[in-house]
Amino acid sequence: MRNILICGYRDWAHDLFVNVDRCVIDNCVYVDDKDMLDTMIDEYEPKFIFFIGWSWIIKDDIINNYPCICLHPSPLPKYRGGSPMQHQIINGEKTSAVTLFEMDEGIDTGDILFQKKFSLDGDLDDIYRRVSDIGTDGVIEILEDGYQNQIKQNEEEATFYKRRKPSMSEIKIDDISNFTASQLHDKVRALQDPYPNAFITCKDGTKLYIKRTEIE
């Protein structure tokens, strides 16, 4: 029986782990602590390591010595880098894709092993539920079939975004004048829990957080 590490710390990543563990004969182990990664690798000597929404840098010796596969919620090579889901929704994208790729020393640059589109409609919980379900299918497909139909990323189509900072969640007075209701709604839903919520700064300096909006 093969040992498989699935690394993540978000609720949707754990849901993916549970679903994969139910469907495969491999011994799947969940890692949610970056400080335990080396220990778990030494203990289990995994056949594959999957990183699901993992925010920390993976050491080169891990990438070079184990098959490391990352789930990135964007249609790579577009939206490489940090906060891909938030950037896509705020930019008004209507669809995205779950991409599983073989990790290399670049940032989200490895060969694509699995990619499937999904809708960006709805609240953030709904969107990540789709990511988890599609990601489950992708992980199972790779475990069952191995590396088939690897696709090189087209560098001419690549875009890169930095991780968003909490201060970028502010909605300013000028934004209300310059953006449509749909654009502001997209910003609010892109920044729903567990991410730094959208907020406005009030006259007394306090912050009013906006977790949900509706458009009539």
Cross-strand bridge partners of residue 160: 80
71 in helix, strand or coil?
strand
Sequence-distant (≥ 6) Cβ neighbours of residue 45 within 8 angstroms: 3
Considering the domain delimited by 3-161, tell me its CATH architecture.
3-Layer(aba) Sandwich (3.40)
Spans in the chain with pLDDT lower than 50? none
CB 112 within 8 Å of CB 147: no
| Cα distance between residue 37 and residue 24, in whole Å | 22
User: Given this model, what pLDDT does residue 208 score?
Assistant: 97
Which residue type is seen at 172?
K
The pLDDT, as a whole number, for residue 191 is 98
pLDDT at 127: 98
Task: Give the pLDDT confidence score for residue 129 in this predicted structure.
Answer: 98
Using alpha carbons only, what angle is made at residue 29 by residues 37 and 67, rounded to the nearest 5 degrees? 65
Report how far apart, in Å, the C-alpha atoms of 114 and of each of 15, 106, 139, 149, 203 are: 19, 18, 9, 9, 49
Find residue 5's DSSP bridge partners: 29, 49
Query: What per-residue string of b and e applies to 110-137 under the rule 16 or more CB within 10 Å gives b?
Result: bebbbbeebebeeebeebbbbbbbbbbb
- The residue type found at 10 is R
46 cis-preceded (ω within 30 degrees of 0): no
Structure tokens at 188: 């609010």
Alpha carbons within 13 A on the beta-carbon side of 65: 10
Nearest C-alpha neighbor of 162 from the set 109, 75, 84: 84
Write down the pLDDT at residue 1: 84
Question: Hey, where are the domains in the chain?
Answer: 3-161, 166-210
Query: What is the pLDDT at residue 159?
Result: 98
